Structure 1
């Protein structure tokens, strides 16, 4: 029994040591300010998503008409500016590319992005979109600090430009893009904001309803306290 306890203790210590080492060697993620109430940001993020992401990545749990309602857009605005893979406003965000073709071209089928913000986290996504760098050893010519040897090319290179990495792991711009670094950071922040929205669109309603629920609970607490005092006033 003593040997079993000692072995278990050693296993636990080893496990925590491994976790601490992994945490210490992981990439430091950049923080991103997400605001689901910023409809202008969500609209810009939707525009970027439709133009640069939806050709390979679907969002099969999100419907265009739901997005229009939540983002303060009309069905006509969405149909004219944000719908490129279907002409039905009630359809989900699917792609035309077949999974077998995607696997042949990229080595793996691009994942659906419906819940990617919940799976990876917004900070990770923000860091990922900002840390592509040139790598001649990769088929697409680029690699990524947050996702080593990723099969996805740097689809936003025209906006950000190209970055190189030095022996210390520091990135520097070697070819400027159409946007300044600050403008590109804003663009990626808006895109991540939109990805956070489609990962949980009902969160907007929950946030709006939450303040009324708290107000109800506060009023109920006052009434319940008054009832409690009235009930126990003659009990000694």
Structure 2
């Protein structure tokens, strides 16, 4: 079978039109958003998250270097930081947008990122929603006054807690960093500080049984904690991020 020179050249342009991922993202935005008049919409807002993601992990990277876990890293590594500021509806919008962008990459540059996407989509959407709800529920065990930004939920008792905390601060010890869940006993969560093998790195926090049941072994919590002398469990000061066990290999 023979192909015309023009057809071969066109296919080569698709397969080897290698550009930086941010340039491809801008081209996708100009083509899709301008044509559909999506400027200023919720979709535009969610697109900015994808732009932030690419800037953080793929700045100056060529589109040909994108790996199959491009989607999984966005969902499980990048998204948890936004769990308190996004609604469930917005999470679904941004996932649809990322799907459309990957389809654009495939059509324009011949790079198929859909294999991993199709294989893991349902399971990973369930996983990010699990993390989403855990991060919101766990806030009431912290000293954070703002429990959620969208919708805005404020704990009016937190100021009293902070005042009391200052009074006993000299009788407390503090830790912070990434902690991996290694076991659960009812509402007692046993964790160890990531990257440390010492037995002294094990800590315990207490939450409601219903919340504990949603947490998984090897999930990672990025948090600040404190413990009063003679107490066996630690109190959570604040939780910065909560990561699924599925993405633990990417956590520093």
Give the TM-score, by structure 2 length.
Answer: 0.24
User: Looking at both structures, which has the greater relative contact order when contacts are Cα pairs under 8 Å and sequence separation is at least 6?
Assistant: 1
Compare the two structures and name the one with the higher strand fraction. Answer: 2
* Structure number, greater radius of gyration: 1
Question: Which TM-score applies when normalising by structure 1?
Answer: 0.26
